[in-house]
Amino acid sequence: MYNILILEDDCIQLKTLSEIIKQSSDVYKVYEASNTAEAMKAALTERIDLFYIDISLKNESGLKFAEEIRKEEGYKLTWIVFVTIYKDYMLPAFKKIHCYDYILKPYNKENIQKITKLLLSDDRAQVAATEIRENFIIVNVKNIQVKIFVSEIIFVEVFIRTSIIHTINGSFTIDYLSLKKLNSMINDKNILQSHRSYLVNVKYINKIEKTTDKTSYKIYFYNTTDTALLGNNYKKCIIERFNNAIGGDINDRI
């Protein structure tokens, strides 16, 4: 039996979503909550395997509830699917909560049943186990503790006292965190220093070119239009790793 908790303050939509899930399998037990207090009580009383959370509640914040759930030791990696009528909520939800997915209202029965079965299948249990083993760092972004998987980091840049971590899910700005400290936190063989102000993930490097003034090099990446710098002191190591990854010789082209 799998326990699913729905937080939705619209009574009709709450019942609709609940029935859709119940109809998809008799191994799902659905807990319904119309406010965050009810939802938290259910989450702390029962062991919830999957959350469906409406982001924009009338007098409360579903996003804030998800942040509180993530603070509970048993729910750091539990599947969360957000429900919203606003697409603009998607990126903040992924950044802050590391949720699995989001669905738009009005509900699509087939999509909901498909997502539910996927997340609560044996295959997704294996994915969950993999995520637990995967390296991640926790950083403070505007007083919110954000979890970032190391494998999703494209590159890092530091300016004076501000660090920006560019990932496949967006960029995160952290104050008062040095490049040296970040490098020790990340501690990954694929993420190397390329400049006194940059760390780069060699797996995401697309190409390396000389800058227009011919005095340094610029690194381009997959998944972002932002670029990083390559200093002469780090050039040999980065280019060797890049050549090994693409099976060519970039020195012939820069």
Q: For the segment 11-27, what is each residue's pLDDT rounded down to a tens digit?
A: 999 999 999 999 989 99
Domain enclosing residue 239, as ranges: 136-252
Q: 144 and 41, same structural domain?
A: no
Specify the higher pLDDT residue, 124 or 153.
153
Residue 36 tokens read as: 């965050």
* Cα gap 201→150, rounded to integer Å: 9
Report the CATH number at residue 78. 3.40.50.2300
> 3-class DSSP state for residue 59?
coil
The domain total for the chain is: 2
- pLDDT of 128-179, one tens digit each? 444 444 678 888 887 777 778 898 899 999 998 899 999 988 899 999 889 9
Question: Can you tell me the mean pLDDT for 35-48?
Answer: 95
Residue 82 tokens read as: 């957000």
* Cα gap 199→156, rounded to integer Å: 5
End of a domain among 89, 111, 132? 132
- The 10 Å CB-count burial string (b at 16+, else e) for 7-38 is bbbeeebbebbbebbeebeeebebbbbbbbee
* Cα gap 80→197, rounded to integer Å: 35
Answer whether residue 88 shows pLDDT above 80: no
C-alpha pair distances (Å), 184 with each of 137, 166, 196, 234: 10, 17, 15, 18
Specify the higher pLDDT residue, 139 or 42.
42
Give the pLDDT band (50/70/90) at residue 77: confident
Q: 193 and 112, same structural domain?
A: no
Q: What is the pTM of this model?
A: 0.50
Residue 130: CB atoms within 10 A of its CB come to 9
Specify the higher pLDDT residue, 251 or 62.
62
End of a domain among 67, 100, 132? 132
Lowest average pLDDT, out of 2-6, 36-40, 213-217, goes to: 213-217
Tell me the average pLDDT of the chain.
Answer: 84
Q: 163 and 123, same structural domain?
A: no
